[in-house]
Structure 1
Amino acid sequence: MPAVGPGTSIGGRYHLRQRLERTDRVERWEADDTTFGRRVVVTVLDAADPAAEAVLDAARRASALTDPRLLPILDAGREDGLVHVVEEEVQGSTLTELLRDGGLPPTEARRIVLEVAEVLDRARARGLHHLALTPDDVLRGRDGSVRLRGLAVRAALLGRDGGSDQAASRTDAIGLAALLHAATTATWPGQDATSLQATPFVGGAPAPPSELVAAVPDDIEDLVRRALGRSRPGDDRPQDPGVVADALRPATTRASTLSATPLLEDATAGSPGDPLPASPTAVTGAADASAAPAAADVGAAPAAADDGTVPQGPGHRLADDLRKDVEHVPSRAEAAAIAAAGATAAGTKAAARRVGDLVDGASRRVEDRRREREQRRLESQPARVPLSTLADEPPRPVEPVAPIFVNDVPTGTPSPRQANFVMALLAALVVLGLVLGVIGVMSMVSNIQRQLDAPPVARTYTVTAPAVTITKGADGTVTTRPAAPTRPAGAPIAVVGVSAYDPEGQDHAENNDSVGNVHDGDTSTYWRSQRYRTDTFGNLKSGVGLAVYLGDAHSDVSQIKLTLPDSSGEDLTVYGSDTPTRDGAAVLGTVKGGKGEVTLTVPPGQGKRPYIVVWFTNSPRMFGGNYAALSEISLS
C-alpha cells in the first residue's frame, strides 16, 4: 500500500488533495498540477509492486494513442519508492453512476458503447487492449461526450497483458457486450467487481436484456445473446471491437428489395382474369432469339441467375404498382392474343406495343384513382381559404363603435348630454374619495385615543453587560477592555482556531486543511506536514509548526497537553505569543524525542497570551515517510 496522504507531493509537481479510490495495491487521488495550474487524477502504487514496471510501460504506450474519446495520460514515472500515472480530470459521471436509477434508453446505451467500441478498435490496430472493461471505466461528460480510461494500464495492474492479440481482441469484444447489457438493464454480467447489482444467470449464462427490461431493440438483444450466451458449435461470438462497432452503427439506407414476380405471368393457367404471361415464349414454349431484346424493352422478366433467383428491375416495381392500384387487369383472351402475336419477331413487337398500351392505360387509371382519393380527402376536411384569395379581396369597411347614447351620433365633438354625464361621474368619484378619507382619519384618531386611555402596564427590563476592565492612565486617559472570564482552576480552555505555521516554506502553510484534527477530541485523527526525504526536513527549513488561537479574551494557560503520533521521537518547542508567529514569543516548554502523550507546565505569568505556537524542529520517520505531526492539543 503506497504511503501517501493529503498534501503529499508526487513528482515534485502533483500535490495530492483527496483520495478517490483505494485498493490493496493502488490508490487514486485528486491532485493539483502546480506546473500548469490544473486539476488531475493521479494513480499511485508501490514501486516494489510486481506490476509496477508493466504499468509504466503500458502507460507510455497508451499515451501515444490520441483520440478525443480516450482519457489522455499526461505523465508517468517513478520517484521516492512510488510509481505514478497522471490522467486528465473529467467533469462528469461514470457509467456506474449513471445507472444508479436504472438502465439508459436504448439509443443512449447504443451511442455510449459504440463510442467505446470505436476507440478500442483504433487501439487494437496499435496493439493496445483494455482487457478489464467495467462501467467504472466509461465516463460521460457534462456535454455528453464519452471517454474511456484505463486502456492497457488496467490490464497491466491485473496481470492480464500476456495473451495473444486475437484473444485480447475477443476479450474486449465480450467486455463491450457486457457494457451494453449493463447500460440497458443496470445490472452487471461481467466478472470484475462493480457497485452495480449482478445480472441473474439463467441456464449458465447471463439473463438476456429482454428478460429484465422492456422494449430492447432486436439488434442489441441479438448482439448480447451471441456474445454472452453459452458457447455452442458454430460459435458466432464477436471476435474484436470492430465487429461490435459495426453491429451497433445505425443501419444505412439501402435499396429496398424488389419483388421477384415478373410483370407478365402465364396466360395458360388460372382464371379468365389472370394477369398476362411473363413473355410470349412462356406460352409457346419456343422463342425466337430476337424476342429477348424486345422483351427487355417492355420490362419482361430477365433470365434467372445460377442460384435460381430472378434479377429484378423497373418492370417488377411497375407490376407491383399495377397489382395494388389497378382494378382491371388483362384477361386471358388478351393474354392469349399477345402470346400468339409473340410467335414471330413481328408478333413480339406487336406484343410490346400492346403491353405499352396496357401500361399507359393502367398509369392513367392509377392517376385518376389518386386524384379521386385526394378529392375525397379534401372534401372530408374543414373548408380552408387560401391566403392568396384573401389577399385578392378588397378591404371591407369597419363598422363604427356604437355610441353611448342611442340618440347621439359621433361627430368628433361631445354633445352637452355626454359632457354632463362625464362631469357627474367625476364628481361622484371625488365625493367617494373624500368620504373614505374622513372615515380613515376618524378610525386612526379613535385608535390613538384608546391607547392613551389604557392603564399603564408594568414592564421589567433586564440588561446583561459583559464585564470590562477600566484603566485610567497618568495623563487622565481612560481605556476599557473585556475582562478575562472567571474560570475555575484547572478547567479546560477552549481552542478558537488553529492554522499551519510555515515561515520558511513557499506557501507559508503546510496541509492547512487538516489542522482541525488537533482539537477535535479524537486522538486517532492528526495533522501532519508534507513528506520530506530526511528527519531534518530535507535540509530545506529549520522547522514547521501550528499556531493555536485562544481568542482576545484569553485565559491564563497553566498546563499544555500534547498527543504525538507513534514515531522515533519528535523535538518541539511551545511558545506563548501575541501573534501567530514566534516573533517576540516566550518559551513555555520544550520536548525532546517525544511520542504519545506529553504534558508541559507553563511558568506562572507566561500563559496570558492569545496564541500558543507549537514549533517542530525535526521530521522523524512515521506513516511510511518523514513528517512532523500532532494528534491532539488540550489546554487548561
Structure 2
Amino acid sequence: MAERSTAAVDVADNSGDEPLTAKADAATTDGTAQAEDAEGASSKDAQSGQDGSDAVPASPDLHSGHKLAKRYRLEECVTRLDGFSSWRAVDEKLRRAVGVHLLTADHPRARSVLAAARSSALLGDPRFVQVLDAVEEGDLVYVVHEWLPDATELTALLAAGPLDAHDAYQLVSQISQAMAAAHREGLAHLRLTPGAVLRSSTGQYRIRGLAVNAALRGITADQPLRADTEAIGALLYAALTRRWPYESDAYGLSGLPKDLGLIPPDQVRAGVHRGLSELAMRALANDGATASRQEQPCTTPDELAKAVAAMPRILPPEPTFTAPPEYQRTTYQQGTYGRPSARPASATQPVIVPPPPLQSRTGKALKWAVSALLIAALGLGSWQLAETVLNREKDSGEPTPTQTTDNGGVDNKASEPSKPVTIVGAQDYDPLGDGSEKPGSTKNVYDGDTSSFWTTDGYYSADFGRLKEGVGVVLDLGKVQQVGNVEVSFLGGNTSVEL
C-alpha cells in the first residue's frame, strides 16, 4: 500500500485549478474515478477550445507480467487515462522497483514525451525523481523512472493537517531552489502539484515528473517561469493553511470562499508565520497586487529562492520531553526481601502500639526555652509594628506648607489653566506581531487634519484574527510631561482603546 500511494497519482493529479499562466493542449482528467475522468476531459476541451473530434489513441492493452526490453516486468497499473498508462514495475536486472509510463507510438504526444524524458534525464539533480530510460520499441513508447517506496506525498502530509512553520520553510526553500536549477537548464515542470512533491524519510523534498507530466497531458505555458513560481506559491499556501488558493476544491483540500479573492494565509488560519504568508502572496498571481508591504511579486523560482534566503531562518520546534520508563528491578531484587508484603494484614492480628517516649529533665527545659524565645520575638515584632504605624499617622497629620507671594497672597499653582501639549512625533506599536503596523501614516494622528487618519492592517475579526491582543501608536512629547486629559477621535463604530 505504501508503494501504491507513492506513485498512484504520479501523473493522475489533475484536480483543481491550473496556474493562471498554464494551459492544456488536450483534455485530461485526474484519474481517480471514471466519472471524474469524463468530467475533467469535457471541461478541459471547453477551456482549450477543442471539440473532441480528434480521437486520442487508446492506452496500450498490456497486463501484469508483461516485460519491456526483457527487463522491466509490469506489476500493477496505477493510472490509465488519456491514451497512456502508468505502472509499478520491477527492474529484473537491478532487482529494484521502478515506475513506467506507457503510450502507443502513434500517440500525438509520443514524440514530445520522449523529448521531455530525455531532457529531464540529462539534468541529474538528486532533488528530482530521476528518469532512468526513455525508449521507443515497436509500437510502444515508454519512460522508466525511479520509484521511492519510503517517500510520502505532500497530499498525504496535508491530509493530516497543515505543516508547521519550519517544515513549510524547508518546503518552499528546497522546491524553489530545485526549480531554479531546472529552469537554468531550460526545463520547466508546468504540473507542480501536491502529488508531484515527495518528502523522504530524512526530511528532504523531491520533485517528480519534471517536464514529463506536462508532456503526457499536453500542457504548455507562455510563461513557464511564472507558471512554476505560482505553483510553488500554491504549494506553500496549502502547506500553511491546508486550503487550496483557488475557488474549487482540489487534492483533498477545500478551496477559498467565492467572491473574496485571494486571502493572505495568516488571515485564513491563526498562528501562520507572517513572513511565509507574505512570501506565498508574492509568489501567487494576484491580479498584479500582493498582500505584502511594498514588496515586489516573485515571478521566477530564482527570485523566490532569493526571497526565502533573505528571510530570518526558521528553526525547528523544540523536541518534546518523553518521561523515562518506570524503573525495572534487576534479577536479584525480584524477591520480597526488604519490601513490604502486598498481602493485607490479618484482622485477628493485634496491633502493637509503641509506648510513649520518656521525657527527661533536659527535654522539658528545652521545651520551655523555645517557648520563651517565641513569646519574646512575637512581642518585639508587635512593638515595632505599632511604632511604625504611629510614625506614619504623625507624618500624615502635619500641615502642608504654602508659599506666600510678596503681596501677601497664596501662590496656588493648581489654579493655573492647562495648556495643550505639543506632539513632536509618533511611531506604530505592534510588539505581539511583526513590529510594524502602517508606520507611514502614524503622522496623521496629530497633524490636525480631520480628513487624514491612521488605521491598522486589515483583520477579518474583532480579535485581530487571534494573532495578537492589540496594536497602537506611541506619541513622542519631546520630554517628560504631565498630561491631564487626552482627546482622541475614532472612525467607524465602537472601538476598544487603552491609554
Scaled to the shorter chain, the TM-score interval is 0.3 to 0.5
* TM-score for the superposition, normalised by structure 1: 0.37
Larger strand fraction of residues: 1
Higher relative contact order (CA 8 A, sep 6+): 2
- Name which one, 1 or 2, has greater alpha-carbon Rg: 1
Q: TM-score, normalised by structure 2?
A: 0.47
